[in-house]
Amino acid sequence: MRSLNLYGKQDIRFEESPKPAIEKADDVIIKVKAVGICGSDISRYNKLGPYVEGMTFGHEFAGVIAEVGPEVKGIKEGDRAAGCPTFYCGKCESCKKGELSRCEKLTVIGARHPGAYAEYVKLPAENIIPLPDRVDFDTAAMVEPSAVVVHGFYRTSMQPGAEVAVMGCGNIGLLAIQWAKIFGAKKVYAIDIDDAKLAIAKEVGADVLINSLETPAHEQIGKHTNGKGVDVAIESAGSPITSAQVFALPKKGGEVVFMGIPYADINIERFYFEKIVRNELTVLGSWNALSSPFPGKEWSTTIHYMSTGQLNVKPIISHRLHLVQGPETFDNLINRKGTYGKVLFYPELG
């Protein structure tokens, strides 16, 4: 089968790989219809992380069930499905408490298990996410990143009527804007330094657009909130700069949720750090998308709001490509050749 396999830093190859086979009684093989590039894929391609040389890459996907193991119930060939790509050990202290996203051995396909940049991918039956007819494959390929975002919102104490600031309007930030509305935000502020990204933020529901190149974001937020700030601030840029600036956005007693991962040291000026103490902020980290019972309410909730149209991922998708374009695309992404939003690959094209 056609696949994209990672061999080392910035070494991803389009090549033939063996098609997965049923080996365990609960195995399910999915024919991949659409698979997206995750920010973590770009980082792993550029710098490496947990991986096995030559491993088939990718984990955000949707497709059609091609084959099931003998003990699989409620899933059959021809069903449409997405997949939770994450494995947990079930034995560590966090797993025993039902805190699956904190599993000590958490891993995803595309790292130590064959991933979804391929014509077929294999997962255990419990990882299969059935799709209603109203959710197309392009949308369903973004179930996983959407579940990651709502996992962070579930960590907050946000109430309907809250005001929310989203710092960084990449793929995660654009999903966060929509989840903020679903959670009942009366006003969502979208913050970025790219007017094109802010335009998409407006399209997916942001109420106020803030370009922080013009004036610091917290000053602009202050003008809209009588100097108070927002109830919840989401850091979704993953930048060392915004990871400090985000502390100046919430009101006293407000919350900050870190969804982005800055791959560099963060130096926090006194002005921003003091906000944590003086404003008694609650600072939350959010990792992955699992809860108990596995895979968690994040996945069923995502599917529901995709089916109603309240989660609209179409404006986020910028490129629809064949797998053979994978090596060139990853090179373009890390070398900033062109403008990319969410990239989807289609293994069947061509």
Q: How confident is the model over 238-265, as a mean pLDDT? A: 94
Q: Is residue 261 part of a domain?
A: yes
Q: Is 228 in the same domain as 200?
A: yes
Q: Is residue 295 part of a domain?
A: no
Sheet holding 2-8, edge to edge: 11-16, 2-8, 55-56
The percent of residues in the chain predicted with pLDDT above 70, rounded, is 99
Q: Is 129 in the same domain as 158?
A: no
The confidence score (pLDDT) of residue 147 equals 98
Q: How confident is the model over 90-99, as a mean pLDDT? A: 97
Q: Is 160 in the same domain as 268?
A: yes
Give the end of a domain, one of 238, 268, 285: 285
Give the end of a domain, one of 268, 285, 302: 285
Residues 6+ apart with CB under 8 A from 290: 84, 86, 88, 100, 101, 103, 106, 151, 296, 298
Q: Is 333 in the same domain as 242?
A: no
Q: Is residue 306 part of a domain?
A: no
Q: Is 185 in the same domain as 96?
A: no
* pTM of the model as a whole: 0.96
Q: Is 134 in the same domain as 162?
A: no
- How confident is residue 284, by pLDDT bands cut at 50, 70 and 90? very high
Q: How confident is the model over 128-145, as a mean pLDDT? A: 98
Query: With 80 as the cut, is the pLDDT of residue 256 above it?
Result: yes
Instruction: Quote the domain boundaries for residue 44.
Output: 2-142+313-346
Closest CA to 104 of 91, 114, 123, 115: 91
The confidence score (pLDDT) of residue 349 equals 65
The confidence score (pLDDT) of residue 52 equals 86
DSSP code at position 38? P
The confidence score (pLDDT) of residue 14 equals 97
CATH number of the domain residue 54 falls in: 3.90.180.10
Query: With 80 as the cut, is the pLDDT of residue 51 above it?
Result: no
Q: Is 134 in the same domain as 9?
A: yes
Q: Is 213 in the same domain as 237?
A: yes
Q: Is residue 294 part of a domain?
A: no
The confidence score (pLDDT) of residue 44 equals 86
Q: Is 151 in the same domain as 238?
A: yes
Q: Is 162 in the same domain as 252?
A: yes
The percent of residues in the chain predicted with pLDDT above 90, rounded, is 91
* Number of domains into which the chain is organized: 2
Q: How many residues does the chain have?
A: 350
Q: Is residue 298 part of a domain?
A: no
Q: Is residue 138 part of a domain?
A: yes
- How confident is residue 260, by pLDDT bands cut at 50, 70 and 90? confident
CATH number of the domain residue 173 falls in: 3.40.50.720
Q: Is residue 290 part of a domain?
A: no
Whether residue 293 is preceded by a cis peptide bond, meaning omega within 30 degrees of 0, is yes
Query: With 90 as the cut, is the pLDDT of residue 15 above it?
Result: yes
Q: Which of 48-57, 156-165, 325-334 has the lowest mean pLDDT?
A: 48-57
Question: Taking all residues of the chain, what is their mean pLDDT, rounded to a whole number?
Answer: 96
The confidence score (pLDDT) of residue 50 equals 67
Q: Which of 31-35, 165-169, 188-192, 333-337 has the lowest mean pLDDT?
A: 333-337
Q: Is 192 in the same domain as 114?
A: no
Q: Is residue 218 part of a domain?
A: yes
Q: Is 133 in the same domain as 168?
A: no
- Evaluate whether 37 touches 65 at the Cβ level (below 8 Å): no
For 290-329, the pLDDT digits (tens) are 999 999 999 999 999 999 999 999 999 999 999 999 999 9
